[in-house]
């Protein structure tokens, strides 16, 4: 059919199915009448499309429910997404760990595996091994290819999401690789690739703290400092695929070299790895006696969990972490002033510490005065479940945005 002069009937149908799915996702279970009112489409059109989607097993009727506000005896049928219609695979490849999770459409995990990221392997060998792990998980859980929507895989660093190509990874691989083509061939399923922070930000809308808000600034504090902007439920990529690079704001022109190539980025002072490195440089029996004892005198035993747990008792650690929390508050507030998001969602164990969160907040409020404490939410996605990002991107692309037409 010719689409040159506008949308054809099939396009309109697909986009209406997409609208129905997103409405049920947001407000469901919901009646056909309420869907038609929310979408401003006729009840007849909604009935036709939802019946078709029920036949295809994408939607289910939840029985009849009485509504207290309407006439006694009047009942209405609610419909919902059939959350067990298909499964999705999410993979998060990070510097230390790679996690794989298989979830239903509602994000309920049915299988899970977390392995060390083997950085000594060439990209192809790494992906071949990963595909083997995925096949094994599917086999063990008796999940066949027809039951899958696809696979969403996320990486640290820059990703060309349109072409499924992972660019030169920060500290993982030294050349770019077409991950989508490679894995689609290996596994014979649809694959979508994106940056881990952007994918996790989308997962906050589906499974996390966003509470129905579609315009968010998401900050992930971990090995590095990542951020993502979500506008109207979609990632804002920017003109150079480089939006929301808060971690790479230069805050000290004479500072340490950053993995991005610049000097003195926020990440070199306030990320988990930079805090660990800075403490390692100060580590001695005199300056950090408690930490020294705790780590048996070996600086290699220092990790972020240890320094966070000793922060209250070791003055030097307290000083350094306080400075880092304040710096995060200051620079994140500058970004917030600029883009004015509905919610700011913070992800990472540093923000779960009340003392440092309050220091962050104090600094944040000095600048972002329009954003009250209620604007800031702590992520509900466990730091070990970063595969949720992969689940969110694959369901968005091949289920929700497709109107369920897999």
| Least distance to Zn ion, CB of residue 69, Å | 55
Q: Which stretch binds Zn ion (CB under 5 A): 78-86, 188-196, 252-260, 343-351?
A: 252-260
- Binding segment toward Zn ion, per CB under 5 A, in 76-84, 256-264, 364-372, 377-385: 256-264
Give least dist CB 270 to Zn ion, A.
Answer: 12
Identify the CA nearest to 50 among candidates 17, 86, 18. 17
DSSP letters, 90-150, are: EEEE-SSEEEEEEEETT--EEEEEEEE--TTS-HHHHHHHHHHHHHHHHHHTT--GGGEEE
Distance (Å, whole) CA 326 – CA 322: 6
| 112 or 260: CB nearest Zn ion | 260
Give the nearest distance from C-beta 261 to Zn ion in angstroms: 7
Residue corresponding to tokens 């002072």: 269
Between residues 82 and 274, which has the closer beta carbon with respect to Zn ion?
274
Extract the tokens encoding 134.
Answer: 């995925």
We find the least distance from the C-beta atom of residue 57 to Zn ion, in angstroms, to be 47
Token output for 159: 């990703």
Q: Is 260 in the site for Zn ion (CB under 5 A)?
A: yes
Of 30 and 265, which has the nearer Cβ to Zn ion?
265
Q: How far is the CB of 96 from Zn ion (least distance, A)?
A: 19
Q: In the complex, what is the shortest distance from the CB of residue 244 to Zn ion, in angstroms, rounded to a whole number?
A: 13
| Distance from chain centroid for Cα 340 | 20
Q: Which one of 104-112, 117-125, 164-172, 243-251 is the stretch in contact with Zn ion (CB under 5 A)?
A: 243-251
Residue number with CB closer to Zn ion (131 or 260) = 260
Helices 43-55/32-39 angle, 10° precision: 120
**Residue span binding Zn ion (CB under 5 A) among the ranges 18-26, 155-163, 248-256, 339-347:** 248-256
Peptide bond into 29 cis (omega under 30): yes
Q: Give the span between the Cα atoms of 257 and 303, in whole angstroms.
A: 21
Rule CB under 5 A: is residue 265 a binding residue for Zn ion?
yes
User: Smallest distance from the beta carbon of 259 to Zn ion, in angstroms?
Assistant: 6
Question: CB-wise, 43 or 257, nearer to Zn ion?
Answer: 257
Q: Which is nearer to Zn ion, 246 or 344 (CB)?
A: 246
The CB-based long-range contact list for 44-47 (8 Å cut-off, 24+ gap) reads 45/16, 46/20
- Tell me whether residue 190 or residue 262 sits nearer to Zn ion (CB atom): 262
Q: Residue 139: how many CA atoms within 13 Å on its side-chain side?
A: 7
Angle subtended at Cα 141 by Cα 98 and Cα 115, rounded to the nearest 5 degrees: 15
Nearer to Zn ion, 187 or 258 (CB): 258
* Residue 250 found at the interface with Zn ion (CB under 5 A): no
User: Which range binds Zn ion by CB under 5 A, 40-48, 64-72, 260-268, 368-376?
Assistant: 260-268
- Out of 258, 317, 321, 326, which residue is the one contacting Zn ion (CB under 5 A)? 258
Nearer to Zn ion, 170 or 236 (CB): 170
| Count of chain residues binding Zn ion (CB under 5 A) | 5
Q: How far is the CB of 253 from Zn ion (least distance, A)?
A: 12
Pick the stretch among 49-57, 175-183, 218-226, 263-271 that binds Zn ion (CB under 5 A). Answer: 263-271
Q: How far is the CB of 240 from Zn ion (least distance, A)?
A: 15
Give the contacts of 332 (CB within 8 A, at least 6 positions apart): 217, 219, 246, 344, 360, 364
Cβ atoms of 263 and 255 within 8 Å: the answer is yes
Closest approach of Zn ion to the CB of residue 83, in Å: 40
201: closest CA among 220, 221, 175? 220
Integer Cα distance of 204 and 391 in angstroms: 11
Beta strand extents in 142-239 (DSSP E only): 148-155, 159-160, 165-166, 177-178, 191-195, 216-221, 225-231, 234-235
Stretch that binds Zn ion, among 104-112, 206-214, 262-270, 395-403 (CB under 5 A): 262-270
Binding interface with Zn ion (CB under 5 A): 248, 258, 260, 262, 265
């Amino acid at each position: 059919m010719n689409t040159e002069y506008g949308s054809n009937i099939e396009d309109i149908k697909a986009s209406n199915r997409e609208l129905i799915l997103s409405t049920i996702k947001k407000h469901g279970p919901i009646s056909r009448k309420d869907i038609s009112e929310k979408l401003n489409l006729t009840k007849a059109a909604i009935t036709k499309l939802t019946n078709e989607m029920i036949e295809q097993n994408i939607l289910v009727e939840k029985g009849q429910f009485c509504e207290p506000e309407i006439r006694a005896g009047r009942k209405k049928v609610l419909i919902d997404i059939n959350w067990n219609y298909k499964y999705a695979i999410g993979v998060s490849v990070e510097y230390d760990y790679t996690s794989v999770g298989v979830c239903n459409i509602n994000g309920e995990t049915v299988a899970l595996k977390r392995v060390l990221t083997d950085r000594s392997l060439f990209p192809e060998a790494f992906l071949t091994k990963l595909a083997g792990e995925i096949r094994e998980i599917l086999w063990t859980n008796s999940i066949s290819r027809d039951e899958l929507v696809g696979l969403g895989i996320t990486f640290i660093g820059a990703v060309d999401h349109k072409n499924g190509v992972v660019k030169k990874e920060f500290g993982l691989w030294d050349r770019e690789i077409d991950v989508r083509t490679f894995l689609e061939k290996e596994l014979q399923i649809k694959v979508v690739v994106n940056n881990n922070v952007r994918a996790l930000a989308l997962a906050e809308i589906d499974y996390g703290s966003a509470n129905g808000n579609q315009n968010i600034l998401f900050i992930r504090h971990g090995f590095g400092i990542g951020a993502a902007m979500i506008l109207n439920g979609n990632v804002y990529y920017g003109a150079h695929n480089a939006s929301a690079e808060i971690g790479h704001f230069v805050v000290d022109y004479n500072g340490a070299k950053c993995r991005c190539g610049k000097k003195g980025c926020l990440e070199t002072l306030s990320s988990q790895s930079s805090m660990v490195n800075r403490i390692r440089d100060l580590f001695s029996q005199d300056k950090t006696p408690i930490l020294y004892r705790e780590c048996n005198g070996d600086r290699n035993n220092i990790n972020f969990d240890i320094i966070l747990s000793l922060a209250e008792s070791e003055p030097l650690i307290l000083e350094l972490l306080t400075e880092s929390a304040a710096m995060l508050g200051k620079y994140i507030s500058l970004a917030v002033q600029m883009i004015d998001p509905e919610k700011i969602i913070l992800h990472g164990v540093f923000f779960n510490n009340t003392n440092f969160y309050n220091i962050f907040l104090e600094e944040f409020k000095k600048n972002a005065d329009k954003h009250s404490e209620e604007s800031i939410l702590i992520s509900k996605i466990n730091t070990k479940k970063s595969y949720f990002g992969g689940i969110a991107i694959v369901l968005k692309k091949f289920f929700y945005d497709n109107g369920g037409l897999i």
